[in-house]
Each structure stands twice: as C-alpha cells, then as structure tokens.
C-alpha cells in the first residue's frame, strides 16, 4: 500500500496544472466569500443573517475547482494511456483506487483548510466593517465559537467529500467532459430542483437527497430547526453520495478493460 500511495502521490504531484488548481481553491474560495460578505450589511436594529454561513459562501465556488482537480487526476491518466502502465505495475485495481482516493483526500483537505481559514478571516474583517458588530447584536466571527468551528470544519470535510464524489464519477465514465457534466448536474441542478416543485413533501425530500443542499447544511448555525436535516446528517448524505460514486467507479474499474 505504501508503494501505491507513493506512486499516486508522484502522479498527482506531477499532474499538469495541479499547482494552479490548488492555488485556485485557496484563492477563489475566500474571494467568493469576500464578495458575498461585501454585499450585505447589518443595520443598528440588528439583522437575521447566518454569519458563519455567509463567510463560507465561497465554498460553493471552490467546490467546482476541487471537482476539476479530482476529475483530472483520473481522466488525465486515461487521456495519456498512463493508466495501462499503472495497472501493469500494480494489478490490484481497487488498491490503486484506494490509494488515489487517499492521496487526493489528503491534498484536498490541506488546500480546503487553507481556503476555509482564509474565508473565515476575510469574513471576519469585511463583515465587521459592514455593521456585523456586537453593538448590532452580531458577535464577531470566531472559531472559538462552537457552531462556527463546526461550520468551518464541516466545510473542509465537505470539500474533501466533493473530491471523492468527483473521483468516483470520473473513474466510472473515464472522460473529463462527461464527468464534469455529471458532477455539476449532481451539485448545481439537483440543488435547484426543490425550487421547481410545489409539493412541500417532495420539496423536502429533494432537498434532503441533493448532495449540495444537504452537505452545506453543515454550515448552518441559525434556525437549525427549520432545516430538513441536522448539520452532520446533511454531511452524511454527501458522504453517502461519495461512497456510492466510489463503489460504482471501483466496480466498473474491476470489471472493465482499462
């Protein structure tokens, strides 16, 4: 397994554009968060914003880059034909996939940690300037606050799970265009579906099974009782999607020619 890990690490490290993609995760996420924080303000009478969620809004943009990273880690190998060399050297395909997933998770976790910390910092600085101050009934954003810490940690895990979901999809379809299409459909289209139906029961169900809506529940810190899922249960739904995608990809990987 150690050799597998080392091989996957070498391949990921030398993936064309990997540096740019990681840089994009670490900069785009806080930039989008800062943009979201810059357009809201809190009047002296107080306001009803979910501040931690607001400052982590950039995760919704950063996840797209994480998905590209994960998809390219697989399809790059198929595009160049390197995958045949890999499987000749290491014939246990599921172990290869496990090692790839582990390395990708590690890389995503570290990039996501940087991105989320930068988002929280940007949110704290910008929101304080827009009236989100203790005098207006809004304590400053701080990771010492339990729910805020949970939202931040959960966002890091969310991005890692998005990487695993994308990895599973990419292994299953082996083409970067189709894989990106499926991942974006699962994330953005499924998240908008609850708004297109009028039946409240169906609306709730669609919200609960949408990987993005459910997964981002981990960022919520206010009005938790109004959410269809508790924060960690929401993240568990996304985890289930990731596991299902990986299982599907792993199964196809075993049974199909490379």
When the beta carbons of 131 and 228 are compared against other proteins, the nearer one is 228
When the beta carbons of 9 and 184 are compared against other proteins, the nearer one is 184
C-alpha–C-alpha distance, residues 153 and 146, integer Å: 11
SS3 150: helix
State the minimum distance, in angstroms, from the CB of residue 157 to other proteins. 21
When the beta carbons of 40 and 248 are compared against other proteins, the nearer one is 40
State the minimum distance, in angstroms, from the CB of residue 115 to other proteins. 17
State the minimum distance, in angstroms, from the CB of residue 32 to other proteins. 10
Treating both helix axes as pointing N-terminal to C-terminal, what angle do 146-173 and 93-129 enclose, rounded to 10 degrees? Answer: 140
State the minimum distance, in angstroms, from the CB of residue 15 to other proteins. 11
When the beta carbons of 158 and 207 are compared against other proteins, the nearer one is 207
C-alpha–C-alpha distance, residues 99 and 111, integer Å: 18
Which tokens is 127 given? 């929101």
Nearest C-alpha neighbor of 59 from the set 123, 15, 104: 123
Alpha-carbon distance values, 227 to 63, 146, 218, 230, 236 (Å): 22, 19, 11, 7, 15
List of residues contacting other proteins (CB under 8 A)? 36, 39-40, 64-65, 67-68, 71-72, 75, 79, 175-181, 184-185, 188-189, 191-192, 194-199, 202-203, 207, 213, 223, 226-228
């Amino acid at each position: 397994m150690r050799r597998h890990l080392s091989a996957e690490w070498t391949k990921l490290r030398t993936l064309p554009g990997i540096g740019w993609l990681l840089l994009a995760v670490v900069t785009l996420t806080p930039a989008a968060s800062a943009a979201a924080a810059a357009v809201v303000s809190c009047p002296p009478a107080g306001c009803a914003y979910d501040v931690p969620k607001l400052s982590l809004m950039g995760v919704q943009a950063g996840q797209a880059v994480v998905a590209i990273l994960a998809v390219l880690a697989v399809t790059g190998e198929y595009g160049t034909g390197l995958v045949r060399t890999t499987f000749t050297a290491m014939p246990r395909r599921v172990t290869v996939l496990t090692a790839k997933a582990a390395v990708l998770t590690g890389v995503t976790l570290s990039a996501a940690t940087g991105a989320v910390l930068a988002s929280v910092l940007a949110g704290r600085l910008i929101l304080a300037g827009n009236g989100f101050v203790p005098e207006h009934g809004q304590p400053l954003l701080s990771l010492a606050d339990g729910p805020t810490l949970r939202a931040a940690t959960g966002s890091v895990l969310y991005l890692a799970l998005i990487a695993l979901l994308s990895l599973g999809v990419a292994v299953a379809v082996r083409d970067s265009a189709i894989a990106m299409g499926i991942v974006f459909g699962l994330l953005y289209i499924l998240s908008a579906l609850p708004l297109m139906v009028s039946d409240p029961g169906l609306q709730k169900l669609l919200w609960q099974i949408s990987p993005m809506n459910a997964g981002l529940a981990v960022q919520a810190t206010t009005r938790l009782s109004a959410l269809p899922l508790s924060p960690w249960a929401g993240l568990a739904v996304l985890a289930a999607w990731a596991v299902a995608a990986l299982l599907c990809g792993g199964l196809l990987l075993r049974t199909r020619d490379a």
